[in-house]
Structure 1
Amino acid sequence: MEISAEEMKRSIQKIYDMLDEVSPVGFDCGTLCGEICCVYDDDCSDEKVALYLLPGEELMYEDSDSFNLYAIDSRDIDYPHSWTDDVFVVECVNPPRCEREIRPIQCRTFPLIPHISSDGVFHLILDKHEMPYECPIIEKNIKLEDSFVKRTYDVWKILIRDPVVYDLVAFDSRRRDNRRNGYKIVI
Structure 2
Amino acid sequence: MEITAEEMKKSIEKIYERLDEVSPVDFDCGKLCGEVCCKDLEGEGELALYLLPGEELMYEESDEFELYYIDSSEIKYPHSWKGQIYLVKCVNPPRCDRSIRPIQCRTFPLIPHITKNGEFHLIFDETEFPYECPIVRDHIKLNHDFLKVTYEIWMKLITNPLVYDLIDMDSRMRDNRKTNYEIVV
TM-score by length of 2: 0.97
8 Å contact from structure 2 (residues 41, 130) kept in 1: no
How far off is 1:149 after superposition?
0.5
Aligned residues: 185
1:126 alignment counterpart: 124
Partner SS, residue 22 of structure 1: coil
- Aligned amino acid, residue 181 of structure 1: T
After superposition, residues 45-84 of structure 1 pair within 5 angstroms as 45=45, 48-84=46-82
Which deviates more from structure 2 when the two are superposed, residues 34-43 or residues 72-81? 34-43
How far off is 1:96 after superposition?
0.8
After superposition, residues 137-176 of structure 1 pair within 5 angstroms as 137-176=135-174
User: 1 CA distance for matches of 2:179 and 2:172?
Assistant: 12
User: 2 CA distance for matches of 1:84 and 1:168?
Assistant: 12
How far off is 1:161 after superposition?
0.2
After superposition, residues 68-107 of structure 1 pair within 5 angstroms as 68-107=66-105
Deviations 1:145-180 (A, max 9, x none): 000001000000000000000000000000011111
1:31 alignment counterpart: 31
User: 1 CA distance for matches of 2:114 and 2:40?
Assistant: 28
- Aligned amino acid, residue 174 of structure 1: R
8 Å contact from structure 1 (residues 51, 89) kept in 2: yes
User: 1 CA distance for matches of 2:13 and 2:83?
Assistant: 21
8 Å contact from structure 1 (residues 127, 184) kept in 2: no
Among all aligned residue pairs of Structure 1 and Structure 2, give the percentage whose two residues are the same amino acid.
64
- Aligned amino acid, residue 71 of structure 2: D
8 Å contact from structure 1 (residues 127, 182) kept in 2: no
User: 2 CA distance for matches of 1:7 and 1:42?
Assistant: 39
8 Å contact from structure 2 (residues 108, 125) kept in 1: no
1:109 alignment counterpart: 107
2:13 alignment counterpart: 13
8 Å contact from structure 2 (residues 65, 96) kept in 1: yes
TM-score by length of 1: 0.96
Partner SS, residue 52 of structure 2: coil
Q: Please give the root-mean-square deviation of Cα atoms over the aligned residues, in Å.
A: 1.1
